[in-house]
Chain A
Amino acid sequence: MTAPVLEVVDLVKHYPVRRGPFEPRKIVHALDGVSLTVRRGETLAIVGESGCGKSTLARCLLRLEDPTGGTIRLHGADITSLDADAMRPLRRHVQIVFQDPYASLNPRWSIGTLMADPLRLHTKLSRAERRVRAAELLAIVGLGGEFLERYPHELSGGQRQRVAIARALAVEPDAIICDEPVSALDVSIQAQVINLLMRLRREFGIALVFISHDLSLVKHIADRIAVMYLGQIVELADAAGMREGAKHPYSRALFAAAPTVDPVPGVSCEAPIGGDVPSPIDPPSGCRFHTRCAFAKDDCALTAPSLRAVEGRSVRCHYAGELDFARWAGGSS
């Protein structure tokens, strides 16, 4: 079997922070022991509330950040501590598309210049060949050659996201990490961009790491879904399993809290969890979710559960598989 495109093992990323000049230095636990693989041509969704570490994970996968601990492998080769020079030729393998294409596209550059830039850096094409290739790439994402002369502010949000995707495609990547790629777009336009990403995956075998907080969307488009909470993966399951029902109390609550267009009569959409996510500076002892978990027992505050196999998926909970989620049906909080 060939190696996965990307593989991370026990990834840790800590940020030292200082609140004020006389405050002691503290540590933000942005990622704490994240392990996952990105398989060829799959759509792996990463979901979780803001601040749980999704974007930090993305930046580590791209080696835009130096991880504090753990291992990152690209096509089986360890890239965890390669320096910028050694990374440069490898950059083309994994590309990223951000939520706000406006912020990621230089407003003073025409689309043609924006498209030629990655081609100049990563290919040996001549100036004229770059122009031709740029038009081809725009055609792949559904934009005509007339867009080469336009500027980012003249485009709609959906069109700008197409340009960002075309730029990512320019270097023929094996994986594209999409960090909230459609969150800023109207729902009617979201489908256009997602269909485009899905087509690229099918036609070019590009793996998609799809970071999102839109749970109804990822259930429909992902092959596998990883749910994160306070810097850790708490559940990793295939989409069908997640649609049947999450096994971790947090992922369960997260999916239940997302209002659906066609609610099932008798099932309320309220979150069975209250309060806010605790600070990643002093994450709770034991299971990080125990402070908000309706099922927490004494040992949950003492021993940290590991991600273990439960009913065909991975769950970070001592009691996964034994929990009676029907207890939540009455909407206790």
Chain B
Amino acid sequence: MRPVLEIDGLSVEFASARGPVAAVNDLSFAIGEGETVALVGESGSGKSTAAMAILRLIASPPGRVVKGRVLFEGVDLLGLSPADLRKVRGDRIGMIFQDPMMALNPVYTVARQIAEVLEVHRGLAGRAALDEVVSLLRLVGVPAPETRAGQYPHNLSGGMRQRVMIAMALECKPRLLIADEPTTALDVTVQAQVLRLIEDLKSRLGMSVLLITHDMGVVSQSAHRVVVMYAGRKVEEGATRDLFAAPRHPYTQGLLRAARRARADDGTLWEIRGTVPSPHAMPPGCGFAPRCDCARAACAAAVPELTRTADGHEVRCIVAAEGAA
């Protein structure tokens, strides 16, 4: 079966005073129908850039998609005319961000912004649109939806705004939802409500989800598959269960150990030493090598290839690849 979304060799760079910065480098992965794929990795590893590139939301300049294809239902989004693209965005593909204010217009009431999208995508107006707004708000768990509809974004709590944005993303019953850190700014009880809501709608609409998060607990709970990025590159991909049980890449291993609050031999919390390399000073070869306990001379010589292991897992590490052979 054809995947809903297929990203193929995507590379994005940003111009900067010190020369171009490769934010996403040769990224490929696919999302099947009804599947939730989590994109995880250190901040700055290129997750948001990848998500924005899918919808062609990268501001140019300074950004530029250097190469690659983004096939949505078989059609390359990167080749669409702006008019065709607008039909896909917000209609077939919904998007929610960490900061709802990015998607909400502060000077419009909740009803007006949702109704506007309804008019563009579904031709609803007037009373019919307003009724639909109220029922959407009720669907995403906004209490007193008739009252809320008349309010402005700043009158709402963070959790409420997040739900309004989800209502906007979902009103067109998208095939794919791209959620960039949708719950990072929320408290755990509200996070649980929002994740349950996405889960509900997923099973009801058969929607696929690209979930960007740094919370490995959320990944474990929500995702079928995980793509791990480090310094702009995919370093590992696998089914969530497999990847959590047996991570292959030393970065994934470290990330999971840290997320589990594992202890080192001396009783301290297990830490990944060092910091992410600056995008201006990328080490040659494997980007993780300077922080890696398994690194050897060959790691700095060339960027390791992605290797597919027997169980369909992919890993970009020469040491892990040898172990799997």
Interface residues of A (CB under 8 A from B): 49-50, 156, 158-159, 186-192, 194-195, 198-199, 213, 215-217, 220-221, 253-254, 257-263, 269-271, 273-276
Contacts and interface: CB of A to CB of B under 8 A. Distances in A.
Nearest to B45: A186
Interface string B233-274: 000000000001000000000111011110000001111110
A62 B272 CA distance: 33
Interface string B31-53: 00000000000110000000000
A187 B217 contact: no
Interface stretch (B1-9, B19-27, B54-62, B184-192): B184-192
A187 B261 CA distance: 9
Contacts, number: 104
A217 B259 CA distance: 9
Contacts of A258: 188, 217
21 contacts: A50-B158, A50-B187, A186-B276, A187-B214, A187-B216, A188-B254, A189-B271, A189-B275, A191-B261, A199-B268, A220-B261, A254-B188, A257-B188, A257-B192, A259-B217, A271-B193, A274-B141, A274-B193, A276-B143, A276-B160, A276-B190
Contacts of A220: 261, 269
A270 B192 contact: yes
A273 B190 CA distance: 9
B270 A276 contact: no
By size class, the interface of chain B is 35 or more
A158 B159 contact: no
Interface of B: 42-43, 141, 143, 157-160, 187-193, 195-196, 214-218, 220-221, 244, 254-256, 258-261, 268-273, 275-276
Contact of B191 (A192, A216, A257, A263): A257
Contact of A213 (B187, B217, B254): B187
Contact of B275 (A49, A158, A195): A158
A221 B192 contact: no
B188 A261 contact: no
A191 B255 CA distance: 11
Contacts of B191: 257, 259
B145 to A, nearest CB: 14
Given A186-B276, A192-B271, 13 more contacts: A188-B42, A188-B271, A189-B272, A190-B258, A191-B261, A191-B268, A257-B189, A258-B188, A259-B191, A259-B221, A261-B259, A269-B217, A274-B141
Nearest to A52: B187
Given A190-B258, A261-B256, A49 B271 contact: no
B110 to A, nearest CB: 16
B258 A188 contact: yes
A186 B41 CA distance: 9
Nearest to A190: B258
A50 B188 CA distance: 10
Given A186-B42, A198-B268, A257-B188, A263 B220 contact: yes
A274 B194 CA distance: 11
A159 to B, nearest CB: 7
B272 A188 contact: yes
B276 A156 contact: yes
Given A159-B275, A188-B258, A271-B192, A276 B220 contact: no
Given A49-B189, A188-B255, A262-B220, A221 B269 contact: yes
Given A220-B261, A263-B220, A271-B189, A276 B214 contact: no
A254 B256 contact: no
Given A188-B271, A254-B189, A270-B196, A276 B42 contact: no
Nearest to B255: A188
A156 B273 CA distance: 13
Contacts of A269: 192, 217, 221
A260 B256 CA distance: 11
A186 B229 CA distance: 13
B244 A194 contact: no
A23 to B, nearest CB: 14
B193 A191 contact: no
Given A186-B43, A187-B258, A217-B261, A259 B218 contact: yes
